[in-house]
Structure 1
Amino acid sequence: MKDVLRTLGRRHLDCSKEVLLTTVSGVASTKPKLITYFDTKVPSIGIITTKSFQVEVNPGNREPVICETQTGNFGNSVGLRNPGLQQALYELRMLRSEHTFNALLNVSLSANSIEDFITLVKAFDEVADLVELNFSCPHASVGYGASIGCDQAIAAEYVRAIKEATSCCKAPLFVKLTPNVEDIGSIAKAVMDSGADGLVAINTVGPIVHLDPVSGMPILQNKLGGKGGCSGKQIFSAALHAVTAIRHACGDAIPLIAMGGVSTGDEVALLVQAGADAVGIGSALGTVDQQDWPSYLYAVKTEAEALLRNVETSRVRHSTSFIKHERQMAYEKHVVTAFERYGKDTVIITLDGSLDCKAGQFAFLWLPTIGEKPFSVAHNKPLTFIIKKRGPFSEALCNLSVGSTLYVRGLYGAQLQNTPTKRALLLAGGTGVAVLPSLAKQLKEQGTEMTILIGTSEAVASKALLEDELGLYGSFTCVSDDGRPGRVLDLLDTIELGNETACYLVGPEIFMAIASRKLLGRNIEETNLYLSMERMTLCGIGMCGECACGDRLTCRWGTFMRYDFLRQEASELLAYD
C-alpha cells in the first residue's frame, strides 16, 4: 500500500516527474485482454482501471447506452453493466497468474450498501493494487453511485465503516466523487477524514436527457426517462474546477486522480497544475482509432510533460493530430422503400439513400424509444439490411412497413485486409449472407475465383437470400438445415479446395469454429482463413470494449480476423463443445 501511495502522492508538486496517465472505469480497459493490451502495448498508461464490478451480475441498460450529440461530447447510460463478483474475480485471478503487470491495477467497485462494498473490497484485495469505490455514477439505480456521493454524511459513513471492516486489506481505498454537488471540496475532505486513502474525480456530469439533433427524440434508454451522464470535452471545465476545489479543501498530502473531458496534453498539464497526481483519459479514446492509441497517449504524455517543464513543444507531435474532429455517432434519417418477408422470421428492408460499405464494416439501426443494434449491410445502393427476428428490437424491425422511418449511424470497422489468392471459398450461415456481397465484390476486383456456400434454417422454396446477386460471382449453393443446424458444413468434407485457396467464414461463432476445424483438416493455411467476428458492440467507436477479439476491437479493426491471430490472442472464441 505504501508503494502505491508513494507512486501517486504529491506528484503535482514536482513538475520534473513523469506525468502519470490512467484509463478510467467503463471505458476501453473493460475486458481482461484489453487490460493486458494497455499494460503491454501502451506504456504511457501507468494505472489501468477496470469497469465497476458489483456483487451480482448486472446486464445494464438496453441500447442505446452511449451517444454523441455534438462532436466529442458524449452521453452515457450503460447502467453499470458487469459480470458480477464471481466471474470478474475469476478473470482477474487468471490475469494475475498469467501476466506480470508494469502498470498499477485499479479495480472499480459499485454497491448500494456498506455490506456489499465490504464484500467487494475483501474479495478483490488479492488482485488489486488499489480499489476505487464508485460513489459517483449519475445514471445508476437508486442507492448506487451518486446516491451515496451526493450526501456528505452518507459518503463519510460508508468510508468509515468500509475502512474499519477491511483494515486487513492491503489495497488503498480510493473514492470516486461526483461533480453534481454544490461543494465537492467538503465531501472530499469528509471522506478523507473518514479514512479514505485517496480520491478520484470526476465522474460524468448530469444526468440530462440527450436529444438527437435529427429526430429530436431522446437517444438513451433507461428507467430514468432517458437521462444519462455527460462526458467528453463538454465537462473538462467542471473537472478542472473540481480538482482545484478538492486540493484547496484537502491540502497537498492526499493522492488525487483527476479525469473528466481530458483529450490533450495541455489539458493534462492544467489538471496537474490544479493538483492532480495522475490524470485519466476516457471518452477521448472514442475519438481515436485503436491502432493509434499507443501513439496518441504517448503524445498526450510527452506534450503535458513538456508544458509542465516549460520545454519547447514544437518537436512533440501534438495529441490533437490523432483525434477525429467529426461526429462518429450521428444518426441519419431513412425511409423504408421496400419491405419483403423471407421465410417465417426473416425480412429484407430496403431504405432510401446509400452507404459505401466495405467487407468488414457495419452500421447501427435505431428506432427511437425502442432500441438499436449493429447490422451488416447487404446492399449499399439501395441501402438494404437483412433482419432475422431474435429479440424485441429485431422484432420491431420486422414489424416495419413501406414508409416507416428508420435511423442509421455508421459505418464502423475497417475494410478487410487480405492476401489475394487464386481461389476462395465463401461460407455463410443464416443472415451472415448479408456480409458476402461486399466481400465478393472485393475478391472479384482481386481476380479471385469463388465458390459460395450458404446454410439457412429457412426452407428454401425457390431462391435463397441474395442468390441472384451472389450467383454472378461464382458457383452458388444453398443448403437448408432441414432440422439439423449447420448441415451445410457437411459439404466441407468433400468440396474441392485446391492450392492457393482462401476461406472466408461468416455466421455464429460456433458455426465458424466447427467450419475452421474442418478446413484446417483439409490443409487450408491459418493465414488464408478469415472469420467475420460480428461481436456485440454498444458504441461502435472503441469506448465500451464489448466487441473485443483478443485485444482488437472489431468496431475499429473491422469484423474479419485471421485464424492465426484468433488462435494466439482469442482462442476461447474458437472453442466449441
Structure 2
Amino acid sequence: MLSMIDRIKSIKGAHLNNGVHLSTVSGVASTKPELVRYFDKKQEAIDIITTKSFQVNPNPGNREPVICEMAPGSFGNSVGLRNPGLEKSLPPLEKLRNEGLRALLNVSVSASNVEDFITLIKAFDNIADSIELNFSCPHAAKGFGASIGCDLNIAAEYVREIRKAYPEQKSALLIKLTPNVEDIGAIAKAVIAEGADGIVAINTVGPEVHIHKESGLPILNNKLGGKGGKSGKWVKQRALEAVKQIRDAIGDEPIIIGMGGMCDAYDVAAMVTAGADAVGLGSVFGTVNQQDWKAYLDTLKDESISLLSGNEIANKASKYIRQDNRMEYTKHKVISVVEHTKDMLILTLSGKLNCQSGEFAFLFIPGKGEKPFSVAHNSPLTFLIRRRGEFTDALFNLKEGDEVYTRGLYGKPLSHEKKKNVLLIGGGSGVAVLPLLCDMIKADDSKVDVLVGTTLEPIGVDGKALFEDFFKNFGTYTVIADEGKPGRVLDHISEHLRSVSDTAVYIVGPEKFMSIAAKKLLELGVSKDYIYLSMERSTMCGIGMCGECVCGDRLACQYGTFFTYTYLLENAKELLG
C-alpha cells in the first residue's frame, strides 16, 4: 500500500506528459466532511479533494455578505477563514480516512505563527495525503495568510522552522501562495529550498472593494472596509502567468496544483501547459447546478485529456456553465413594517417574486448585511422576520419607503404527490414557509390542517394569529403557545391528523423540532416517504460554493429546502437527532 506522501507524489511530473488531475480548492464546494465524502464517492473525475482552511481555534469569519458576483463567473469574496477549529474538524476527517478514500485528501490549514502550523500539521498528518499551508488569504486577520506569503523571508523561515520541528511528517507539505507579489516565482523557489514538496497557486487576487452599483456602498461586510479577493474568470490570466513563473523558478520536480478561474477544457489544458500537475476548480462550482456536477466534471476531464492529446473538442463542458449572474440584486421599496409581536416582524416590499415551496431569497441592506429568508407571499412580496441579531435588528428598523434588495431565487420547487389529507406543522418563524405550501396544494382538493407552535405570544397586536385569515381559506388553523414547554404543539399532532393512510405532512421549524415531530408521526403510522422536512440550513452564498446548506450530499440551495424523512434517514441521519 502506498504511503500518504507516495500517493500525492504519484501526480509528480504530470505536466510533462500532459496528465490531467482535477482538484477541488480550499473554501469552495468540498468545505464539509459530508461534501468530502460526496466528491470521493460520487465525483470520480476529482483526483484531489481539498478541505477548507482549518485553524487551531474556531473562527466565525466575517458577517454576510461574504461572496458577491460582479460579472457572470467573476466573484469577490471575504469569508475570513471561517472554520470550526481543530478539535471539531479532525474527528470527522479521521472517520472518512478510516472508511477509505479513493481521492487524495489535501488538508488546508491556516495560522499566524509557526507553533500553530506545527500543531495543525501534527494533528492532520495521519489522515492527509498532503497538508496545504495557507500563506495566501488576502482578507485574513493580521498575521495570517498573505501576511506570510507576501514576504519571501518570512515564508521561507516558516517552512524551515516547520521542517526542523517536525521532520518526520508523513504527508506532503504544500504551500499555497498569493499572486499579489512582484515575484511569485522567487517565493516559491525559497519555500521549496527549505523543504516544501510543492506549491498551490493562486489564491484570490486583491483584495479590493467591490461596490454595489445601486447604492454605491461596498457589498462585502468586513473590518477591511468591504475589501475582498477576486476569484473566478477575471483572475484566469493572472493564474496562468503565476503558475508558469513558479514552474520556471522551481523546475520540474516539485508538485504544482494550479488554479484560478478554470472553467472549461481549454483552461485546464492551458494550466497544464503552464506547468501544473493538477488543476484546481473553485468558483466554477458556483456557476454549475449541483445536479450537473458529475456530467460537467466527467466531460471536462475527458475533453481536457483529448485536447492535450492534440484532438479537437466540442467544448461540451462549457454548456453546463451558466452565463447569467445569479447573485444580482433587485431593488425594492418598503411598503409596510408591521411588528406582529415585539420579536416578530411582517415586512412587505414592492414588486414580487415567483417563489415556490422549496425556494428562498436573500434580503440585503447595503452596509448592514444580508441573510436568506423564506418568502411568505409573492404578491404582495412578504417576509416574516424573527429578531435574532444585528441584521434582523436592521430589518426591524426599516421604515416605509426605505430601500431593500433581494437576490435569488435559490433552491428548487418542491415536487409533491397529491394526497387526500395534508397536515402542515410549523414551529416559530417556520410559519413563513407555510403559505407557499398552501398555494402549492390548493389545486389538489386536499383537506388541509395547519398546526403552529410558538414561543412568542400566539396572538399579535391585531388580535389575530400570524396569517390567520390566509390559512383559514384552506382549512383548519390552530396555534399553540409553548407556555414554558418547548414544542408543546407536538403533543397535539394526533388531534389534527385526519388519517395515516392517505396523508402528507410538511414540517418547518428548528431541526430538533422537526425531528421530534417526524418521530411522533412515524409512531402514529404516517409513511416516512410522505413526511417532508424543510431544512433551511445556514447558507452564505445560495449558489453552491460555500457548502453550508448541505444535507447528506445535497445542497439545499440547489435541490430545494424540502427533504423526505426517508432521504434524511438514509443520507443525513445526524440531522434527525
Q: State the alpha-carbon separation in 1 of the partners of residues 75 and 143 from structure 2.
A: 24
Mapping for residues 300-379 of structure 1, pairs under 5 Å: 300-314=300-314, 318-379=316-377
Indicate which of 383, 386, 389 corresponds to 1:385: 383
Q: What is the aligned partner in structure 2 of residue 407 from structure 1?
A: 405
Equivalent position SS for 2:318: helix
Q: What is the aligned partner in structure 2 of residue 53 from structure 1?
A: 54
What is the CA deviation profile of residues 318-375 of structure 1, one whole-angstrom value per residue up to 9, with x for unaligned ones? 1111111110111111110111111221111110000000001111011111111100
Q: What is the aligned partner in structure 2 of residue 421 from structure 1?
A: 419
For structure 1, which segment, 482-491 or 355-364, has the greater mean C-alpha deviation from structure 2 after superposition? 482-491
Equivalent residue letter for 1:243: V
Q: What is the aligned partner in structure 2 of residue 186 from structure 1?
A: 186
Q: What is the aligned partner in structure 2 of residue 525 from structure 1?
A: 527
Indicate which of 500, 503, 516 corresponds to 2:502: 500
Between the aligned residues of both structures, percent identity stands at: 56
Q: What is the aligned partner in structure 1 of residue 38 from structure 2?
A: 37
What is the CA deviation profile of residues 64-122 of structure 1, one whole-angstrom value per residue up to 9, with x for unaligned ones? 1111121111111000000111111112112222x211100000010000111111101
Q: Check conservation: 1:459, 1:482, Cα contact below 8 A.
A: no
Mapping for residues 109-508 of structure 1, pairs under 5 Å: 109-314=109-314, 318-461=316-459, 462-498=463-499, 499-508=501-510
Q: Check conservation: 2:8, 2:130, Cα contact below 8 A.
A: no
Q: State the alpha-carbon separation in 2 of the partners of residues 446 and 358 from structure 1.
A: 16
Shift of 1:476: 1.4
Shift of 1:450: 1.2
Q: State the alpha-carbon separation in 2 of the partners of residues 536 and 364 from structure 1.
A: 12
What is the CA deviation profile of residues 243-279 of structure 1, one whole-angstrom value per residue up to 9, with x for unaligned ones? 1111111111111100001111110000001111000
Q: State the alpha-carbon separation in 2 of the partners of residues 86 and 573 from structure 1.
A: 20
Q: What is the aligned partner in structure 2 of residue 96 from structure 1?
A: 97
Shift of 1:437: 1.3
Q: State the alpha-carbon separation in 2 of the partners of residues 547 and 451 from structure 1.
A: 29
What is the CA deviation profile of residues 378-399 of structure 1, one whole-angstrom value per residue up to 9, with x for unaligned ones? 1101111011111111111111
Q: State the alpha-carbon separation in 2 of the partners of residues 71 and 157 from structure 1.
A: 40
Equivalent position SS for 1:49: strand
Q: Between Structure 1 and Structure 2, how many residues are aligned?
A: 570
What is the CA deviation profile of residues 158-181 of structure 1, one whole-angstrom value per residue up to 9, with x for unaligned ones? 111111212112001000010000
Q: What is the aligned partner in structure 2 of residue 542 from structure 1?
A: 544
For structure 1, which segment, 208-217 or 190-199, has the greater mean C-alpha deviation from structure 2 after superposition? 208-217
What is the CA deviation profile of residues 440-466 of structure 1, one whole-angstrom value per residue up to 9, with x for unaligned ones? 111122333211111122323431111
Equivalent residue letter for 1:482: E
Describe the shift of the 1:5–1:501 C-alpha distance in structure 2 as closer, same or farther (beyond 3 A): closer
Q: State the alpha-carbon separation in 1 of the partners of residues 182 and 148 from structure 2.
A: 15
Indicate which of 2, 7, 11 corresponds to 1:8: 11
Shift of 1:303: 1.3
Q: State the alpha-carbon separation in 2 of the partners of residues 376 and 2 from structure 1.
A: 47
Shift of 1:4: 2.7
What is the CA deviation profile of residues 116-173 of structure 1, one whole-angstrom value per residue up to 9, with x for unaligned ones? 1111101100110110000000000011000000000110111111112121120010
Q: Check conservation: 1:214, 1:332, Cα contact below 8 A.
A: no
For structure 1, which segment, 102-111 or 461-470, has the greater mean C-alpha deviation from structure 2 after superposition? 461-470
Q: Check conservation: 1:69, 1:213, Cα contact below 8 A.
A: no
Q: State the alpha-carbon separation in 2 of the partners of residues 194 and 460 from structure 1.
A: 66
Equivalent residue letter for 1:76: N
Q: State the alpha-carbon separation in 2 of the partners of residues 453 and 550 from structure 1.
A: 28
TM-score, normalised to structure 2, is 0.97
Equivalent position SS for 2:228: strand
Q: Check conservation: 2:111, 2:144, Cα contact below 8 A.
A: yes
Shift of 1:530: 0.2
Equivalent position SS for 2:179: coil
Q: Check conservation: 1:129, 1:171, Cα contact below 8 A.
A: yes
Q: Check conservation: 1:57, 1:83, Cα contact below 8 A.
A: yes
Equivalent position SS for 1:410: strand
Q: Check conservation: 1:189, 1:250, Cα contact below 8 A.
A: yes
Q: Check conservation: 1:300, 1:319, Cα contact below 8 A.
A: yes
Equivalent position SS for 2:10: helix
Equivalent position SS for 1:188: helix
Q: What is the aligned partner in structure 2 of residue 553 from structure 1?
A: 555
For structure 1, which segment, 424-433 or 106-115, has the greater mean C-alpha deviation from structure 2 after superposition? 424-433
Q: Check conservation: 2:449, 2:496, Cα contact below 8 A.
A: no
Q: Check conservation: 1:4, 1:130, Cα contact below 8 A.
A: no
Q: State the alpha-carbon separation in 1 of the partners of residues 497 and 540 from structure 2.
A: 40
Q: State the alpha-carbon separation in 2 of the partners of residues 117 and 284 from structure 1.
A: 30
Equivalent position SS for 2:363: strand
Equivalent residue letter for 1:514: I
Shift of 1:2: 4.8
Q: Check conservation: 1:528, 1:562, Cα contact below 8 A.
A: yes
Equivalent residue letter for 1:4: R
Q: State the alpha-carbon separation in 2 of the partners of residues 106 and 6 from structure 1.
A: 12
**Where does structure 1 lack aligned partners over 5 or more consecutive residues?**
none
Q: Check conservation: 1:136, 1:178, Cα contact below 8 A.
A: yes
Q: State the alpha-carbon separation in 1 of the partners of residues 497 and 83 from structure 2.
A: 46
Q: State the alpha-carbon separation in 2 of the partners of residues 446 and 281 from structure 1.
A: 44
Shift of 1:5: 4.4
Shift of 1:214: 2.2
**Where does structure 2 lack aligned partners over 5 or more consecutive residues?**
none
Q: State the alpha-carbon separation in 1 of the partners of residues 55 and 230 from structure 2.
A: 23
Equivalent position SS for 2:242: helix
For structure 1, which segment, 282-291 or 1-10, has the greater mean C-alpha deviation from structure 2 after superposition? 1-10
Equivalent position SS for 1:293: helix
Describe the shift of the 1:57–1:505 C-alpha distance in structure 2 as closer, same or farther (beyond 3 A): same
1:567 and 2:569 equivalent?
yes
Shift of 1:6: 3.4
